[in-house]
């Protein structure tokens, strides 16, 4: 089943004043944690960061039902009706949102022999692929992604919505200035059109500070609107005052209702070496996948892992 749609988020147009409610997770932490389930991992053919644990979970838009993401599954090995890959025991979890840790001490109980309903009557379940489902216990609202307990540390994000007018304007200006460094798109339909900042978040760790932004522009064709989407990461050494370096960007374009959209779910540090990683969901027309974009070197981020595709 696709991740909850990101298309309902309101567009923010620079240089208008950006105000609103932020997406801050609660940083309440339960001191008691169940030990993560010990699972023997297969050969790491998908380049998953094994320090993040054996599984990842994402919300299905319901309070207690989740999708259990199997990092070692691929498009060719994730069968529509194969329950053999589903974990068999409860898994202890930490839950994260864009604001940081939402809950610790949560557990997910896998549900075997259960397939979700088809997206539409024209798309039978047998023609669609879904992650195994599970019941989530001891959760709290506001989480977006979960990892095995004790494997991942949160990096809180500050939304452009909650910043002062001066800070939000400065962040928007930095984002739009860095877009100018990207080679011009060949599609003439977008030439001269202005970008709109749909969401943007600032972050800081011990050595680096930066922002992660979701930016779009659309054509004015009423009958056949097209959308260009940019997902951007900028960074600089912490407290340096230097200009931000554009460390990562992805660009997609297509019909507005079918365009590929990358949404930031959380920013985390993985494992003992604290790999700085953006957890993202990539939404297509009728499905999508998940990914880890890792900071590989100063000024350079890259996709470390992409999940199998789920949907129809």
Question: pLDDT confidence of 63, banded at 50, 70, 90?
Answer: low
Q: 175 pLDDT exceeds 90?
A: yes
- Residue 140 pLDDT class (50, 70, 90 cuts): confident
Q: Is 124 a member of any domain?
A: yes
Last residue of a domain, one of 149, 167, 192: 149
Q: Which of these three, 149, 166, 182, is where a domain ends? A: 149
Q: Determine the Cα–Cα distance for residues 165 and 267; give it in Å rounded to an integer.
A: 24
Nearest to 233 by CA among 251, 216, 245: 245
Give buried/exposed letters for 180-213 (b at 16+ CB in 10 A, else e): eeeeeeeeeebeeeebbbbbbbbbebeebbbbbb
- Do 104 and 238 belong to one domain? no
Give the tokens for residue 86: 């589903």
pLDDT in tens, 206-262: 999 999 999 999 998 777 889 999 999 999 999 999 999 999 999 999 898 888 999
Same structural domain for residues 139 and 177? no
User: Is 122 domain-assigned?
Assistant: yes
Q: Is the pTM of this model over 0.85?
A: no
Give 265-295 pLDDT, tens digit per residue: 999 999 999 999 999 999 987 899 999 999 9
Q: Are residues 163 and 272 in the same domain?
A: yes
Number of folded domains in the chain?
2
Domain shared by 301 and 162, yes or no: yes
In a domain, residue 2? The reply is no
- Structural domain containing residue 285: 158-306
Please indicate, yes or no, if residue 25 is contained in any of the structural domains. no
3-state secondary structure 194-246: CCEEEEEEEEECCCEEEEEEEEEEECCCCCCCEEEEEEEEEEEECCCCCCCEE
Q: Please tell me whether residues 228 and 89 are part of one structural domain.
A: no
Could you tell me if 66 and 94 lie in one domain? Answer: yes
Domain finish residue from 149, 172, 188: 149
* Rounded-to-integer distance, Cα 90 and Cα 68, Å: 11
Answer yes or no: is 107 within a domain. yes
Cα–Cα distance, 165 to 182 (Å, whole number): 27
Q: Are residues 63 and 140 in the same domain?
A: yes
Q: Is residue 283 part of a domain?
A: yes
Confidence band, pLDDT 50/70/90 cuts, at residue 80:
low
Radius of gyration over alpha carbons of the chain, in Å? 20
Q: What is the mean pLDDT of the chain?
A: 82
pLDDT of 48 > 60? The answer is yes
């Amino acid at each position: 089943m696709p991740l909850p749609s990101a298309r309902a988020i309101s567009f923010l147009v620079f240089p208008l004043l950006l105000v609103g409610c932020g997406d801050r997770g609660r940083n309440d932490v339960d001191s008691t944690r169940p030990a993560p389930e010990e699972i023997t991992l297969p050969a790491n053919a998908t380049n998953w960061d094994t320090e993040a644990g054996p599984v990842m979970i994402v919300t299905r838009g319901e309070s207690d039902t989740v999708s259990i993401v199997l990092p070692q599954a691929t498009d060719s090995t994730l069968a529509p009706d194969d329950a053999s890959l589903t974990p068999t025991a409860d898994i202890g979890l930490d839950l994260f949102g864009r604001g940081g840790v939402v809950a610790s001490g949560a557990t997910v109980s896998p549900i075997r022999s259960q397939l979700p309903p088809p997206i539409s009557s024209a798309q039978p379940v047998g023609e669609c692929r879904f992650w195994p489902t599970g019941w989530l216990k001891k959760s709290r609202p506001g989480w977006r992604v979960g990892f095995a307990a004790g494997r991942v540390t949160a990096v809180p994000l500050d939304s452009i919505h909650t910043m002062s007018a001066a800070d939000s304007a400065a962040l928007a200006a930095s984002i739009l200035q860095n877009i100018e460094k990207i080679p011009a798109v060949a599609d003439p339909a977008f030439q001269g059109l202005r970008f709109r900042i749909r969401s943007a978040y600032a972050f800081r760790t011990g050595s680096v500070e930066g922002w992660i932004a979701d930016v779009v522009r659309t054509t004015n064709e009423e009958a056949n609107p097209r959308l260009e989407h940019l997902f951007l990461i900028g960074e600089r050494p912490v407290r340096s005052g230097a200009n931000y370096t554009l460390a990562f960007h992805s660009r997609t374009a297509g019909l507005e209702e079918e365009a590929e959209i990358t949404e930031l779910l959380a920013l985390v540090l993985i494992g003992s070496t604290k790999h700085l990683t953006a957890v993202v969901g990539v939404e297509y027309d009728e499905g999508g996948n998940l990914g880890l974009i890792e900071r590989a070197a100063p000024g350079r981020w890259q996709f470390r892992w992409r999940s199998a595709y789920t949907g129809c």
